[in-house]
Amino acid sequence: MKKLHYTITTLEPLIITQHSDDPNMYETLQYIRGTVIQGVFAQNYIKTNNGIADDLFTRLIVSGDCIFENAFPTIDNKLYCPAPFSIVRKKYPLKNDEEGDNKKELALNLLLATIDEQTKDISSLVQIDGKEICPLTIRKEIRLHNEIDDEKRTTKDGILFNYQSLPAGMVFSGAITVKKDADETLIQKIVPDKKEIRIGRSATSEYGKVRFEWIDEAKEDARIPNKEVIMTLLSDTIIYNKNGFTSLTVDDLGKYLKGASITNSISRKSRIEGFLNVWKLHKPSENVFAAGSSFLLDKMPDNEIELAKLGLGERTHEGYGQVSFTILDPAIKDLNYNEWKEAALIKPIVMPALTNKIWKSACLKRKKEKIINNALQEADDTKGKLPTNHLLGKLKDMAEDINSFSENLDKLKDIAKGQLTKSYIGNQTMFDHLKERVDHIEKTCDVTYHYEDIVFDLSDSKSEMARLYLEQYLKQLHRKIKTTEQ
């Protein structure tokens, strides 16, 4: 039995949908469900196996030989897990000057202590280190979208909805437990290291691009001696009673613990309902113990290692039933609550394709505007005897084939060349000026655009920009001649 650890870095906004009371809002979870990871491996296996789901696929992905855990956010190498429901804060904490300077707000463990004051919950994701508890607040993004008509592939007028998404640059950490050590190579081959994949809702458009990376095995928490322990559910947990139906009683949950009894608990119930894409149908809904439910045990269960690695309850291979015996210490009744300080997210290495396309288009437009302004200004700065309208028209026709412009300029008759040498821009003749602008268009405008570490290469538009410059320059000279004649 071995745990394989990985990270997922979001390169585009990510949507892991959850139930929402607003029919026009698709809300996102703050973590990646194990069923999503399981789906990624199932899809990649079938894709690389010529579309065949064979016996090996069934054993590794479906039957439970591999346990796909939820992946939780990681910031500054600290993993943030669902907050235990037993941890609360006082609704009206003491101010600094009531009990000395810099009085820290405390979070209390209701499994161990009683309190008569009103309390409030903490953040949904926290990181607990001894007596310190730090909440996590993710700045989610909301985008407005039009509904698409599937037949016409056009937007439906007036039908709008919102996507709530996690930002690009987040890192999630998770693990896959293989019951047979020999399966490690097989699993890592299905999704190679540093592979870019797409997950979540609308993954075929502007959402869901992530980078999957295998990492070294994380250091396991030290085993707690055989005394009172607190078991915390890190994911929704499915418990069956003796009749094979889902149960929410502590007695039925206790039957999964060998040699230990539950002496106190603070739990909440929830309901899950999945969707099986192969069937195009919803899975049967289940009543579950919600992630964050906490249970005080009289001692460490005899099957602690099995529960910590394989999970507790049913359908653990889909990410349900993740437990921890080390997040909360029964010897600590209160913890120092540290307010969340937002950390800078890592910028995605790859800009989303649609964003890149839009941004590059905007940069090209800005470059063209700069070229036009430059052409108009240099036309106004052109002095001396201007060429005839006939010659300007000929030059404009030559500009249509920008690659041969310089060569055709040299082939002009001496009379035409003489006209171009009688016009000046500063100390340069118009003839030399035109050759320079075409031969070295990068002197007219920078063909790259830099935004911090992102570079947009506009070199494929050099010919277009050179032609644009000549067109505007010659047009302005024509207007200048017309104005002089009038």
Write out pLDDT tens, residues 91-135: 776 655 455 555 678 888 889 888 878 888 888 899 998 889 999
Q: Residue 27, CB half-sphere, CA atoms under 13 Å: how many? A: 8
Q: Which CATH number fits domain 1-81+133-218: 3.40.47, 3.30.70, 3.40.1000, 3.30.1460?
A: 3.30.70
Per-residue tokens: 463: 């010919």
Give the whole-angstrom CA distance, residue 419 versus residue 184: 79
DSSP-assigned beta bridge partners for residue 347: none
Write out pLDDT tens, residues 47-57: 988 888 889 99
How would residue 344 be classed by pLDDT, with cut points 50, 70 and 90?
low
Q: What is the CA radius of gyration of the chain?
A: 33
Write out pLDDT tens, residues 230-268: 999 999 999 999 998 999 999 999 999 999 999 999 999
How would residue 445 be classed by pLDDT, with cut points 50, 70 and 90?
very low
Q: What is the pLDDT of residue 443?
A: 47
Q: Residue 53, CB half-sphere, CA atoms under 13 Å: how many? A: 12
Within the chain, all domains assigned CATH 3.30.70 are found at 1-81+133-218
Write out pLDDT tens, residues 275-300: 666 666 777 788 999 999 999 999 99
Distance of CA 319 to the CA centre of its chain: 21
Write out pLDDT tens, residues 2-17: 899 999 999 999 999 8
* Residue 164 predicted with pLDDT over 80: yes
Residue 90: name the closest of 63, 68, 113, 67 by CA.
113
Q: What is the pLDDT of residue 345?
A: 55
pTM, full prediction: 0.67
Cβ atoms 385, 392 nearer than 8 A:
no
Terminal CA-to-CA distance of the chain, rounded, Å? 92
* Residue 80 predicted with pLDDT over 60: yes
Q: What is the pLDDT of residue 190?
A: 92
Q: Centre a 10 Å sphere on the Cβ of residue 95 and count the other Cβ atoms it contains.
A: 8
Q: What is the pLDDT of residue 444?
A: 45
Cβ atoms 321, 289 nearer than 8 A:
no
User: What rounded mean pLDDT belongs to the chain?
Assistant: 83
C-alpha distances in Å from residue 454, one per residue of 279, 290, 407, 449: 43, 43, 36, 8
